[in-house]
Amino acid sequence: DAGVIQSPRHEVTEMGQEVTLRCKPISGHNSLFWYRQTMMRGLELLIYFNNNVPIDDSGMPEDRFSAKMPNASFSTLKIQPSEPRDSAVYFCASSFSAAGTNNEQFFGPGTRLTVL
């Protein structure tokens, strides 16, 4: 398996533009997580899905952020409009969650977003 795939790896955009980050989880995993990492705030959970259904989006900072998971193999995180303070590395992770499993999360390589 190729692991969790994220695209793009780097994104540079101007303030006010729409940004869409993409994630393909590991095949067979039933949970997907979006994180943001910055020097100031560390690693923050934004939202997570179980079986394509959003379970907890309390970490989404504002209405400018939205996430979808239309099927088991694809998810997007959208920021519209983007602001400089959104600059961060965004990670997607997936796991297979079931009773008796260790719920290990597998992380993608991240998307480094810079908003000018």
Partner 1 sequence: GEDVEQSLFLSVREGDSSVINCTYTDSSSTYLYWYKQEPGAGLQLLTYIFSNMDMKQDQRLTVLLNKKDKHLSLRIADTQTGDSAIYFCAELRNPQTGANNLFFGTGTRLTVIP
- CA 47 distance to own-chain centroid: 8
Spatial CA neighbour of 107 closest among 33, 1, 30, 28: 33
* 45 contacts partner 1 (rule: CB under 8 A): yes
Q: Smallest distance, Å, CB 115 to partner 1?
A: 20
* 12 contacts partner 1 (rule: CB under 8 A): no
Q: Smallest distance, Å, CB 108 to partner 1?
A: 6
One residue of 24, 33, 77, 86 binding partner 1 per CB under 8 A: 33
